[in-house]
Amino acid sequence: MINLFNSRKLFVKVICLMLFVTQAQAQVKEQGIIPQPFKIQKNNTVFTFSRSSGIAVGNGIDSDNLTFFNQYFHQLAGYNLPINKTATAIKLNIDSANVEQPEGYKLSVTAKQISITGHDQAGVFYGLQSLVQLLHADARKMTVEGCVVEDHPRFSYRGMHLDVSRHFFKVDAIEKWIDLLALYKINTFHWHLTDDQGWRIEIKKYPLLQSISAYRDETIIGHKRDSPHVFDGKRYGGYYTQEEVKAVVKYAMERHITIIPEIEMPGHALAALSAYPQLGCTGGPYKAATFWGIFDDVYCAGNEETFTFLQNVLDEVLPLFPSKYIHIGGDECPKTKWKTCPKCQKRIKDEHLKDEHELQSYFISRMEKYLNSKGRQIIGWDEILEGGLAPGATVMSWTGEEGGIAAAKQHHDAIMTPEKYVYLDYYQSLYSSEPLAGGGYTPLSKIYNYEPITKELTTDEAKYIKGVQANAWSEYMASPAQAERQLFPRMLALAEIAWTDKGNKNYAGFLKRLRYQQTLLKQLNINSANTFDEITDSLSESAGHEVQLALNTTLPGSNIYYTTDGSAPTLKSKKYSKPFSITASGTVKAAVFSGAKQYGHMYEKDFHLHKAIGKSVTLTNQPKGGYNSGDAFGLVNGVFGNKLYNDGQWYGFNGEDLEAVVDLGKVQTVSQLGINILKYHWQKMWEPQVLTFETSADGKTYTEVYRQTTFNANGINPVHASIKPIQARYVRVKGTNKGIIPPGEYIAGAKAWLLVDELIVD
Ligand code: TNX
């Protein structure tokens, strides 16, 4: 597989390849800038570069800006543009009166002149990035189509995160990555440097962080939800020396990117504890984690040495990172060990804290004070809201948007990174051909259509939303090539949400520009995914209580053909024009054809029709966490939830029981009952303790007809109950939730999920 992250001088290559690509794509007329500028107006002129096209660099312009541009230009054209104060061909200026918004620029291209005026250095830099995206070249000529661009970002914080703990990416890879951020005008790189599976930054005072914490004994193979876990038996690790970190920070700064380091606390600390076990509540021994998830052993909040350690660590981290913000983590910190730790309990008493949540708040506030005393501000994941927000903290809202909303309402800054919309470790496609990923489903369109300013916020409160970020957790990104596959092209959608004014956003327009950029990414040897035009579907209920299937593709000029008899679709199959009813059990197969050529993978969906399809279902408890809250049709739509539980079919009950009654409309013979149960203890998904089916003719008196108490499979457990035929109108299914996850199990003490789908009656 091609490895994007191999080369150091990527930035130069990006541009030169880009020029090469534009050459190859001479037929591409569309101006494909991503993110879409605030205003862009074509004028029917063309600027043609020549050896004598001089660049006049206005006062105060950083020479880096120009060096980058000139390097790319030289690579392509074979000559440098002369730099000359009195040149008239290309003019670069900074003029904050003319361009009011920070990071903004104006770019004007006419037959005679290209001029870029930036509000500031970054503005000039971004103007040059846009110019680069507009360059067209052929063998002899270098041209740019005439236009006027007026541009500035919507948000001042445009972030991308990368987790280097679960998998380690070398400096080359990181620099290559930074080049791509710059190309798409992302200005913040959140570098997740420490976690349970490895500590990745050299701290001279604590040499064991390098020799012990930077390594784990082995790594899980496959997905965490698989059981039993299987390991590769290979020691894995690495870390960045302080010299390397300095070089990366400088590299990023030259490209107008701020790096915010994250040093996780008080949770996700196993790697650190493995070297310094005295910092944990029990004293260990501890080992860096070899699989993914949340671990009970965290920094002891009652031990003074924990704070000394973290402060000493930060004392070495701060000089490396000039950023105003330091990320201190704060997420997913189980309180299990604190509850029974005498030191933590003493701290709670001495500090008059209410509970362990307030202890977490004490921890964060104390570290915040320390960082403030060094002139820095903290950012933390939304759990830092628990037990009260530290005074100047910025909240990174990941579990949902609520954290960001709550922070903004308390007049704290917030950055939106809700996992449901912008997690790049999630699946981008539901096709079975997708490589292993973390879970979830955040297709390109979902990211693109995410709006960071939620309706709950007043105009004043909305000002506290500083921006948006996509997160790249690397559990299932073992190599740079795999990371690319997950990150591209979705990162470009993030870039556009972060930069482009809401009113200028348009998914169809984005896709058009993306097609141009995809060619470029390919030429750059970037392993960008190409699944966004594949068929997506939606199911609805027709007036006659039938299941309706709608199919969609965004591939221009294409058609969808489909079959319902299990055969592979061809151009002779039925052409899709509008949603259709599913009238028999079987498999719908569909494919996109562009002319005579099939595009992408074949779509397949199995339908299982039964007597309860489209019938009314009443739920006693409501499903939670995005598992179909609000509508019960998915339980009786003939489609079974998939084993990745990311297809929107599953109903999830958090700590609560399942109790559903389906009304068949009239009394009839019932002889088959069924339901699917999802069991993944490694994902907190537990089988019911007892599952029963009851039937009733009148909806008042129910007779139990089936009972099951064991569900052995890890994954989907189909329940098929053949019962003695009975006359019934109502069927009630009950499943008792496991409740609290028992000791010794993964995330003991948390509420168990009960996931079910399709309530089958025949
Ligand atoms: C939650 S997002 C985490 C990470 C995992 C991620 C996987 C956050 C603050 N914590 O530790 O890598 O889920 O999606």
Residues 179-213 pLDDT 10s: 899 999 999 999 999 999 999 999 999 999 999 99
CATH number given to 8-151 = 3.30.379.10
Strands 258-265 and 198-199, bridge-based pairing: unpaired
Cβ of residue 423 lying under 6 Å from some atom of ligand 1: yes
Residue 222, phi then psi, degrees to nearest 5: 85, -160
Q: Is 425 in the pocket of ligand 1 (CB under 6 A)?
A: yes
**Ligand 1 nearest-atom number relative to CA 292:** 12
% of residues, the chain, pLDDT over 70 = 95
What mean pLDDT comes out for the span 131-143? Answer: 76
Nearest-angstrom CA–CA distance, 615 and 605: 21
Does the pLDDT value for residue 391 go beyond 80? yes
Centroid of ligand 1 to alpha carbon of 90 (angstroms): 46
Per-residue pLDDT tens digits for 309-341: 999 999 999 999 999 999 999 999 999 999 999
Ligand 1 mean position to 398 CA, how many Å?
A: 9
pLDDT, mean over the chain = 93
Enter the CATH code of domain 616-761.
2.60.120.260
Other beta carbons less than 10 A from residue 510's beta carbon: 23
Lowest mean pLDDT among 129-138, 291-300, 420-429, 473-482: 129-138
Atom 10 of ligand 1 has which residue's CA nearest to it? 331
Question: 120, 175, 179, 195: which one is catalytic?
Answer: 195
Note if 332 is an active site residue.
Answer: yes
**Closest ligand 1 atom, CA of 399?**
2
Give the type of residue at 302. G
Percentage of the chain lying above the pLDDT 90 cut: 84
Identify the DSSP state of 211: I
Alpha helix locations (H) across 211-277? Answer: 242-254, 270-275
| Alpha helices, DSSP H, located in 266-335 | 270-275, 304-317
Whole-Å CA distances, 473 to 170, 193, 423, 467? 16, 11, 8, 19
Q: Does residue 8 surpass a pLDDT of 50?
A: no
Query: CA 134 → CA 47, 122, 172, 194, distances in Å?
Result: 11, 18, 27, 40
CATH number of 536-607, picked from 2.60.40, 3.20.20, 2.40.30, 1.10.3470: 2.60.40
Instruction: Quote the pLDDT of residue 65.
Output: 78
Which of 724, 735, 668, 672 lies closest to 696, judged by CA? 668
Residue 255: strand, helix, or coil: coil
Give the 3-state DSSP-derived string for 108-138, with helices as H, strands as E and coil as C: EECCCCEEEEECCHHHHHHHHHHHHHHEEEC
461-465 long-range contacts (CB < 8 A, ≥24 apart) are: 461/408, 461/409, 461/411, 462/408, 464/407, 464/408, 464/411, 464/412, 464/413, 464/414, 465/155, 465/404, 465/408, 465/413, 465/414, 465/415, 465/416
- Ligand 1 center from residue 603 Cα (angstroms): 31
Q: What is the pLDDT of residue 135?
A: 78
pLDDT of residue 21: 46
Predicted pLDDT at 67: 74
Average pLDDT over every residue of 652-667 = 98
pLDDT band at 136 (very low <50, low <70, confident <90, very high): confident
Contact 116, 124 (CB under 8 A): yes
Convert the pLDDT of each residue in 617-657 to its tens digit: 999 999 998 898 778 999 999 999 999 999 999 999 999 99
Residue 20's contacts (CB-CB under 8 Å, 6 or more residues apart) are: 76, 137, 523
Cβ–ligand 1 distance for 332 under 6 Å, the answer yes
Place of tokens 């800038």: 33
Protein residue with least CA distance to atom 7, ligand 1: 473
| Beta carbon of 358 within 6 Å of any ligand 1 atom | no
Distances (CA, A) of 1 to 164, 482, 484, 515, 744: 20, 9, 11, 21, 41
Q: Report CA-CA distances (Å) from 45 to 41, 160, 380, 561.
A: 12, 37, 50, 43
Instruction: Give the nearest ligand 1 atom to 423 CA.
Output: 14
Average pLDDT over residues 714-740: 98
Fold of 162-500: TIM Barrel (3.20.20)
Report d(CA 213, CA 225) in Å as an integer: 25
Contact 479, 495 (CB under 8 A): no
Distance between CA 465 and CA 488 in Å, rounded? 25
Pairing type for strands 691-696 and 616-619 reads unpaired
Q: Is 694 in the pocket of ligand 1 (CB under 6 A)?
A: no
* Sheet with 574-575, side-by-side order of all strands: 574-575, 559-563, 586-594, 597-607
Catalytic option among 136, 167, 268, 412: 268
Q: Catalytic annotation on 296?
A: no
Give the torsion sign (CA, 77, 81, 87, 91): positive
What number is the average pLDDT over the span 408-431?
97
Tokens of 359: 């202890």
Pocket test for ligand 1, best of 328, 473, 474 (most atoms within 8 A of CB): 473
Helix (H, G, I), strand (E, B) or coil at 538: strand
CB 390 within 8 A of CB 378: yes
Element (H, E) at 552: strand 547-552
Please answer whether residues 265 and 328 qualify as being in contact, where contact means their C-beta atoms are separated by less than 8 angstroms.
yes
Phi, psi of 367 (to 5 degrees): -70, -35
- From the CA of 237, how far away is ligand 1's center (Å)? 19
Rounded to whole angstroms, how far apart are CA atoms 34 and 132?
11
CA–centroid distance, 289 to ligand 1, in Å, is: 14
The number of the ligand 1 atom at minimal distance from the alpha carbon of 396 is: 9
**Token output for 549:** 């299937």
Parse the chain into domains and list their residue ranges.
8-151, 162-500, 536-607, 616-761
Say if residues 281 and 344 touch (Cβ distance below 8 Å).
Answer: yes
Phi, psi of 143 (to 5 degrees): -135, 160
The candidate with the shortest Cα–Cα distance to 421, out of 438, 404, 444, 442, is: 442
Of 201, 188, 171, the closest CA to residue 317 belongs to 201
Of the pLDDT bands very low, low, confident and very high (cuts 50, 70, 90), residue 30 is: low
* Cβ neighbour number for residue 432 with a 10 Å cutoff: 10
399 lines ligand 1 (CB under 6 A): no
Q: Which atom of ligand 1 is nearest to the CA of 268?
A: 11
Tell me the per-residue pLDDT of 676-711, one tens digit each, with 9 for 90 and over.
999 999 999 999 999 999 999 999 999 999 999 999
Asked whether 382 lines ligand 1 (CB < 6 A), one says no
Q: What tokens were used for 100?
A: 């009011």
Distances (CA, A) of 504 to 35, 154, 446, 453, 501: 10, 11, 17, 15, 5
- Structural element, H or E, at residue 465: strand 465-470
Please give the angle made by the CA atoms of 436, 441 and 445, to the nearest 5 degrees: 125
